Structure 1
Amino acid sequence: MEFKPLKSILQSPRFKKTIGRLNPLLFWAAIAGLITGVLGGSFRYLVSAILDSRIRWIDSLDKLPGQGAIVSIIISAIMVYLGFFLMRRIAPDTSGSGIPQIEGMLSGHFPLVWQRVLPVKFSTGLLILGSGMVMGREGPTIQMGGSIGKMVGTWFNANQEQTRVLVAACGGAGLATAFNAPLAGIMFVFEELKPTFEDEVRAYHAITLSCISATIGQQLILGTGPVLKLTQFETPPLASLWIFALLGIAFGFIGYAFNTLLVKSLNFFSSLRGRSYQFTGLFIGGFIGLMSWFYNPTTGGGEEMIIWSFNNVEPSHVLLLLFFIRFGMTILCYGSGAPGGIFAPMLSMATLFCLGIARQTHTWFPTDLPYPEVLTIAGMGALVAATVRAPLTAILLTLEMTANYQLILPILVSCFTASTTAHAMGGRPIYTVLLERSLKK
């Protein structure tokens, strides 16, 4: 067969037709995803560095009675106050997790001004999360990701539909970056953001590619491996599945209560006026600083607390008490309107609750539950499924974060029962409620 020179191939009508069919959206999505991964990975690194530096400095001051407490209160109060000031003065739409704002943009209700959202969410996220507030990093990375999608669309003069795809794709890339979980990021877009596109197949390809490139970007900054380096457990016996079903039912009730109280907290803080409103960040930040000095596991996003709870053999009553404290702290912090997410705090709450009951459950049913810590892995996904009402995202997120893929059946059971229990009680997905609340305002 005669070989055609490269020039003739490039100039052939068939090649030009093929090139014409290529979708530039995929190229844009890959670029936007990579930027999201690098920026989100840097954000994760800086938050951890600020938290560690603050804790080490405060610990070094405890040689003098009360000095560590005073410094901790002052530092956290100033950081949270500055975070609130920047958010309220420059970009009020960066309040909370940012997920309802992304959903509102995709449905045509809200604008997305990336020029102010991106820098303000990054800086306030560092201040709020670095202060020890009980909030997750996934909210900031998701909203920053959506803003990056809008930014890249502006660079390439993308049309309205292409911009919507980029925003959705990079929103999922933000979740993938926060937890090193690309599959969960992809599922999050379709299960939580629920956008509709003119060309679903091309949009799916762009979302997938964005999550892949974002994961590569964040791994360049933070390295590979699961976010939570926990024990790789063996598959529990089939006879134990009823325990995971009961666990899911319990988290269905907890998730329903969490959503209800969270909305009440938001309504309370939004009703504040005058100095109470002006100094909200100062008061809450000071309280966070005090709690951080008094007992550090009560504060922080949750990842460090999960590792701590696995590495320290604490009595069950201590773990359950810590669960209730962090439950209340999460409602307080998120309800205040501070920039941050609730995924990571929920994962830590589930860990504490499950570890608190796991030993007793193992004592009662040693053959059905040979490894009591397995309850913790299943419980993480169950609480997310009950509150966010995105069970597939919760399942994939749990598997990718812990690398316990062999526990997929127990996780499926717990997530399904948690979601259906919360639904049967009349609960609604938290981000849907928050979006409707924002639209009414």
Structure 2
Amino acid sequence: MKLRLHIPLLDRLHLSDTGVLIGTALVIGAGTGLGAVGFIKLIALIQKLFFEGGEQILGSLGRWLFLLIPAVGGLLAGPIIAYLAPEAKGHGVPEVMQAIALRGGRIRPVVVVAKATASALCIGSGGSAGREGPIVQIGAALGSTLGQWLKLSEGRIRNLVACGAAAGIAATFNAPIAGVIFSMEIILGEFHLGDLGNVIISAVMASTIARIFLGAQPAFTIPSHGVQTPWEVLLYALLGVLAAIAAVGFIRLLYWFEDRFDEWKFPNALKPAVGGLLLGILGFSYPLVLGLGLVPAGESRLGLPLINNIPHIFGAGFSTIEDALLGKLSFTLLLALVFLKPLATSLTLGSGNSGGVFAPALFTGAALGGAFGNLVEKLFPDATAGPGAFAIVGMAAVFAGAAHAPFTAILIVFEMTDDYRLIIPLMAAVIISMLVSERLHRESIYTLKLARRGIRLRSGRDVDVMESVHVSEVMLRDLVTLSMDTPTTVLAEKFIETGRHGFPVLDEIGDLYGIVSLEDYRTALERSPGHKNLTVGDIASRGVVSIFPDETVGAALRRMAPRDLSRLPVVERDNPRHLIGMVRRNDIVRAYDVGVTNREKMRLRSSEARIRESSGLSTVEVRIEKGSLCDGSRMSEVQWPRDCIIAAIRRGRRSIIPHGDAILQAGDIVVAVTEQDVLNLVRGLCAAKKA
């Protein structure tokens, strides 16, 4: 009974929908803000315990402790990730995107505890990762948990997850505007006005809480920069190209290490410790190399105490980023860090540890921009703004290239530096970086993980799901049609009666003549004020774009988008003028839900197939021959043997869900799980008929 007290409480308060969402947005913002403050302080505490405490206990080891500390952190974090919440592995943001796209925003509450603890241990012990990914996942999980507890709809839970993600970025970087844009651009994948208000409320609340405890100053305190000469923008454009190359290299390196660790037959709970050991070796070694006269003595960080000489590549690296923005670091060190930081992050997260990639991308960009700026300053000492300006732009450009999120990249740098004078070079470099990186690597650092799981997102929705749903499954069959000789006065009444914005028009024999829309009617009113003698046939649009019922909803969407159409008539394939239905943009949303359901059914079928296969059954692939009983038939029309499960249909490179309306074609490969004695029956159904 106690678990249900919140339901009558909401009823007693008589809150409106808006009141509930604003209240929950405030709670999520405050909770995420407090969580971010606690998480940041926990990282600082763990760092102090590891590096100061380690030096006090094992001071005789000196810098050799850098070899051990990341490994110990990985040893502690590994079991938490492996046994408590595997979702905490890696950088976290893709898991939130997947929950939004496929699970209605549902995230397990235990993720909050596991992600916070594992990430704090990782970053505090020197793991090369950012703190924004964990805080985004923590905020998203908080929003999801609250939405589930209040029994809200999936749409509202998604909104609360977006609120939590925005609050996480806002609290981490003291950047509420960038937090909102990050949530819309990356997490939701689209800018929807209905989601915006609550997301803003959460971001502002989280940022306010963080400022109370952590201070109101921007993330980096640096002098203001401007553009010295107009042609300097060309140098920033070149930096954008270099940033794209660095971003793509970072993505490929990270996932290469992740693949190698995933392939390694070794306990998952111990892999982060191995990654930590390799990171420790890297952190111990590179200062020794740089200390051989390659960089100024103070930059190599070879001294003691350890807490003041932690390698640049350990942790999130905000102090090193600020030094790069201030122009304090040498060209050689910055150039080395362009390669060392992505490698360190790849070892950390690729081995299965927990943290974010936002800060490492900013770090790499600042190092690249700073190195480029140093070089430019030597070539053109009086004509450029200096290395710090290029470091700022590089920071945004590399993140934009890695995340494919230009708006977030521009705004996050503005808010973190409190410097808006570099708007033109910043926009130029960011856009060029994103365009080049998309050309070099289709997926972003966030979407690549999902694509490898078979989830390709576009506008926050899974493209493959859209390709698995046929128009016949979601089209509107109950049509209101008009004949071509219907007077326009009757048309006006139909618009008012039905509330629809368009109708299919039929000719005298009942075939499709065209489509008449509200816009057609308005145009007719403007051109012919005395329109009483006009008919629907006079104003209807002819030569309409149509679609067949066995085509996918994805194909319908691709046909609508270039022409900005809101509906398509569905016609018979054998008689393209015979209207059988309409598919509207609203049906696309319903199609997505149907597709997600179909995908779950297919996974269930696959699980059943694996279970039955383990019981001695056979999995076979049979090609459908031309002229067979299957060729041209629907799945539901084929008399499959009782002891047979059709797990999938492969058509070229596509996999098709074997639902009842799926039409089989010659050349398709049917994947079946069946008993040996009925195998020949399956092959017989797919074989060509003998003459």
- Under TM normalisation by the shorter chain, which class is it? 0.7 to 0.9
240, 252, 266: which one pairs with 2:244?
252
Task: Work out the CA distance in 1 between the residues paired with 2:86 and 2:329.
Answer: 41
| 1:91 partnered with 2:85 | yes
Q: Distance in 1 between matches of 2:174 and 2:361?
A: 17
CA contact (8 A) 1:45 1:222 kept: no
Which residue does 2:22 correspond to in 1? 26
1:282 aligns with 2:273: yes
What is residue 598 of structure 2 aligned with on the other side?
none
In 2 relative to 1, CA 439–83 (structure 1 residues): closer, same or farther, beyond 3 Å?
farther
What per-residue deviation string (whole Å, max 9, x for no partner) do you get for residues 231-287 of structure 1?
Answer: 222344322111100000111111122222222222111111135x45322222233
CA contact under 8 A between 1:256 and 1:427: conserved in structure 2?
no
**Percent pairwise identity:** 26
Aligned-pair CA distance for 1:291? 4.5
Amino acid at match of 2:275: I
Q: Please, which moves more after superposition, 322-331 or 384-393? A: 322-331
Answering whether residue 117 of structure 2 is matched by residue 123 of structure 1, we say: yes
> What is aligned with 2:200?
208
Q: Which has the higher contact order (CA 8 A, sep 6+)?
A: 1
Worse-matched range after superposition: 48-57 or 82-91 = 48-57
- Letter aligned with residue 416 of structure 1: I
What residue in structure 2 maps to residue 334 of structure 1?
Answer: 349
Question: Measured at CA, do residues 417 and 390 of structure 1 come closer, stay the same or move farther in structure 2, by a change above 3 Å?
Answer: same
Worse-superposed segment, 41-50 or 333-342 = 41-50
Aligned to 2:34: 38
Q: Within 5 A, what are the aligned runs for 1:7-406?
A: 20=16, 22-58=18-54, 64=60, 67-109=61-103, 112-195=106-189, 200-274=192-266, 277-292=268-283, 295=287, 296-309=311-324, 313-406=328-421
Unaligned runs of 5+ in 2: 1-13, 288-310, 456-602, 604-691
- Which amino acid in the other structure matches residue 209 of structure 2? G
Aligned-residue offset at 1:156: 3.0
Q: TM-score, normalized by length of structure 1? A: 0.88
2:174/2:207 contact within 8 Å kept = yes
SS at match of 1:224: coil
RMSD (CA atoms): 2.5
- List gaps (5 residues or longer) in structure 1: 1-17
Q: Distance in 1 between matches of 2:284 and 2:51?
A: 8
2:374/2:386 contact within 8 Å kept:
no
Given that 1:107 and 1:195 are in contact with CA atoms closer than 8 Å, whether structure 2 keeps it comes out as: no
Listed one character per residue, the Cα deviations across residues 335-386 of structure 1 (whole Å, up to 9, x for unaligned) are 1221111111111112222222322201222343132320000000000000
2:452 aligned with 1:437 = yes
Q: Answer whether contact 2:28 2:142 (CA < 8 A) is retained.
A: yes
Where 1:405 maps in the other structure, the secondary structure is: coil
Shift of 1:195: 5.0
- 1:322-345 CA distance string (max 9 Å, x none): 321222112222212211111111
Answer whether contact 2:167 2:207 (CA < 8 A) is retained. Answer: yes
Alpha-carbon distance in 2 for matches of 1:236, 1:41: 39
**Aligned partners of 1:125, 1:426: CA distance in 2, in Å?**
28
State the Cα distance separating 1:293 from its structure 2 match.
5.2
Shift of 1:102: 0.8
Aligned residue in 1 for 2:687: none
For the Cα contact (< 8 Å) 1:68–1:293, is it kept in 2?
Answer: no
In the superposition, relative to structure 1, how do residues 412 and 148 fare at CA in structure 2: closer, same or farther (>3 Å)? same
The structural deviation recorded for 1:186 is 0.8
Q: Which has the larger radius of gyration?
A: 2
Residues 212, 383 of structure 1: CA spacing in aligned structure 2 closer, same or farther, 3 A cutoff?
same
8 Å contact from structure 2 (residues 90, 353) kept in 1:
yes
Give the direction of change, closer, same or farther, for the CA distance of 1:226–1:118 in structure 2 (3 Å limit): same
Task: Find the aligned partners of 2:47 and 2:223 in 1 and give their Cα distance.
Answer: 25
Which structure: greater helix fraction? 1
Q: Does 1:410 align with 2:406?
A: no
In the TM superposition, what is the alpha-carbon distance from 1:61 to its structure 2 partner? 6.8
Partner Cα distance (2:203, 2:396) in 1: 20
- Matches of 1:410 and 1:438, distance apart in 2: 37
Q: Does the aligned pair in 1 maintain the 2:325–2:391 contact within 8 Å?
A: no
Normalized per residue, which structure has more strand?
A: 2
